[in-house]
Chain A
Amino acid sequence: ETGVTQSPTHLIKTRGQQVTLRCSSQSGHNTVSWYQQALGQGPQFIFQYYREEENGRGNFPPRFSGLQFPNYSSELNVNALELDDSALYLCASSFSGNYGYTFGSGTRLTVV
């Protein structure tokens, strides 16, 4: 059974650019959640995808968007990057109705 894989592991972007982060969910899991973790803070919920539909969203602007694919992998897209978007982005997968989560190792995004 594979875990959750995120790519890339590190990324440097310029303010105003767009970025796509990827997450492959654990085998058997159909739900993916994305979190943003600023330095020294706990993760903050961005949104959740269940069976290819957005199923809950945190307090993030529309320039944060996502997708979930038929194989339940997911993408997080951020447009018009701002310096404050610099953070560790984590995804977590689980099977609906089951509270067991598997987290990825994260993508560290630096916006300069």
Chain B
Amino acid sequence: KNEVEQSPQNLTAQEGEFITINCSYSVGISALHWLQQHPGGGIVSLFMLSSGKKKHGRLIATINIQEKHSSLHITASHPRDSAVYICAVPLSQGAQKLVFGQGTRLTINP
């Protein structure tokens, strides 16, 4: 079993739909990251959160530390949101060894 599991692995939706991507982890953490990777390969950091909820534009990330679970939501999805979304967890306090989920490939059709 992977230390960081994401679901679903692939998700196709129509423009405008509400999207949810889930991340469960088994390692102890102090913060969880949501990242976005476009086909070119570069990774953009979307959120870093250790409790509660964060919102940026149409993106919302939530985390439940007790349940070791986080979700990334996209409201009013748009084709430009099509990308791979990855959650990542640092293994220990201060460590930069991130353990990544396998990613969720999101495709938004017009």
List A residues at the B interface (Cβ < 8 Å): 31, 33, 35, 37, 40-45, 48, 56, 58, 88, 90, 92, 94, 96-97, 99-106, 108
Please tell me which stretch of B13-21, B51-59, B70-78, B98-106 contacts chain A, meaning at least 4 of its Cβ atoms lie within 8 angstroms of it: B98-106
| Nearest neighbor of B40 in chain A, beta-carbon distance | A105
- Please determine whether B42 and A106 come into contact, CB atoms closer than 8 angstroms: yes
Contacts of A45 in B (CB 8 A): 97-99
Contacts of B45 in A (CB 8 A): 100-103
| Nearest neighbor of B102 in chain A, beta-carbon distance | A42
A108 to chain B, nearest CB (A): 6
Docked CA distance A21–B96 (Å): 20
| Nearest neighbor of A104 in chain B, beta-carbon distance | B42
- Please determine whether B96 and A33 come into contact, CB atoms closer than 8 angstroms: yes
- Please determine whether A56 and B95 come into contact, CB atoms closer than 8 angstroms: yes
- Please determine whether B41 and A108 come into contact, CB atoms closer than 8 angstroms: yes
* Given A42-B103, A45-B99; A106-B41 close (CB under 8 Å): yes
- Please determine whether B42 and A105 come into contact, CB atoms closer than 8 angstroms: yes
B1 to chain A, nearest CB (A): 14
| Nearest neighbor of B44 in chain A, beta-carbon distance | A103
- Please determine whether A56 and B101 come into contact, CB atoms closer than 8 angstroms: no
- Please determine whether A105 and B96 come into contact, CB atoms closer than 8 angstroms: no
The residue among B4, B35, B98 with the most chain A CB atoms within 10 A of its own CB is: B98
| Nearest neighbor of A31 in chain B, beta-carbon distance | B96
- Please determine whether B31 and A103 come into contact, CB atoms closer than 8 angstroms: no
What are the 8 A-B residue pairs with the smallest beta carbon separation, nearest first?
A: A42-B100, A105-B42, A103-B43, A106-B41, A45-B97, A42-B102, A43-B100, A88-B41
Contact pick for A56, options B4, B86, B97, CB 8 Å: B97
Contacts of B88 in A (CB 8 A): 42-43
Docked CA distance A45–B91 (Å): 11
- Please determine whether A33 and B31 come into contact, CB atoms closer than 8 angstroms: no
- B33 beta carbon closer than 8 Å to chain A: yes
6 chain-A/chain-B pairs, Cβ below 8 angstroms: A31-B96, A33-B96, A42-B86, A45-B98, A90-B43, A103-B42
